[in-house]
């Protein structure tokens, strides 16, 4: 069992290819787009309910069914999403350093939306700090719980509290918990358990 680590800085332009059909991503489009929502909050669920099997189809649907400013908003994000979909697979960047904020949000949204199809826990360093701010404070608890758990809750050193690492558990059910032993952690996901040494957690949080 391994970890899929997505970093926000001090990393190279690595990617991982995930065999996930485009139509699956479309069905999850509502939760995905919420990561990029700000002042505009269109009815994302309508997009997921269409018969579209491609991002291009969704763009055409949005252009016809939404008023102009909303359609432009949606289509711009769908075009970003299309960059990461290639022949029924997602090429997910493991380094966010080179991207602007909207693309970072899209990458985080992808990893969240397709979490049930990713066979490993996905670990972020402080990349998720871009999600937790005043503009998104209302959406954050409703969207994330119980899927994301901050490692910071379980670390006792002040230095590590400057980071916002999280774990997304495969299947959408899980989290990170302290064991009785102070030198180990346990990740629970899909009814299984996986132990992680404290030094590994600290290394992830400090990376």
CA–CA gap between residue 32 and residue 52 (Å, rounded):
16
How many domains are contained in the chain?
A: 1
Domain span at residue 202?
A: 4-206
Say if CB 11 and CB 5 are below 8 A apart.
no
| Local confidence pLDDT in tens for the 207 residues of the chain | 456 778 877 788 899 999 999 999 999 898 788 778 766 666 788 898 999 999 999 999 999 999 999 899 999 999 999 999 987 899 999 998 889 878 888 888 888 788 778 877 677 665 444 444 444 444 444 444 433 444 444 333 333 334 444 455 444 444 444 445 566 665 554 455 566 676 776 665 555
What SS3 class is residue 164? coil
Query: In this structure, what are the phi and psi dihedrals at residue 181, rounded to the nearest 5 degrees?
Result: -75, 130
* CA 76 to chain centroid: 19
pTM (2 d.p.): 0.66
What is the rounded distance in angstroms from the CA atom of residue 94 to the CA atom of residue 11? 8
């Amino acid at each position: 069992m391994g970890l899929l680590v997505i970093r926000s800085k001090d990393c190279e332009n690595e990617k991982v290819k995930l065999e996930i059909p485009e139509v699956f991503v479309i069905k999850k489009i509502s939760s995905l787009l919420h990561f990029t929502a700000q002042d505009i909050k269109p009815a994302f669920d309508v997009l997921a309910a269409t018969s579209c099997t491609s991002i291009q189809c969704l763009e055409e649907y949005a252009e016809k069914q939404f008023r102009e400013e909303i359609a432009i908003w949606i289509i711009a994000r769908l075009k970003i999403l299309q960059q990461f979909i290639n022949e029924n697979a997602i090429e997910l960047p493991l380094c966010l350093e080179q991207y602007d904020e909207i693309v970072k949000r899209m990458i985080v949204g992808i990893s969240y939306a397709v979490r049930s199809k990713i066979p490993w826990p996905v670990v972020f360093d402080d990349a998720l700090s871009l999600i937790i701010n005043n503009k998104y404070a209302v959406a954050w608890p409703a969207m994330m719980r119980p899927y994301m758990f901050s490692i910071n809750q379980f670390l006792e050193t002040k230095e590590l509290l400057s980071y916002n690492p999280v774990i997304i558990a495969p299947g959408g059910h899980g989290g990170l918990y302290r064991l009785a032993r102070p030198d180990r952690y346990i990740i629970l996901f899909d009814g299984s358990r996986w132990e992680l040494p404290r030094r590994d957690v600290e290394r992830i949080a400090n990376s």
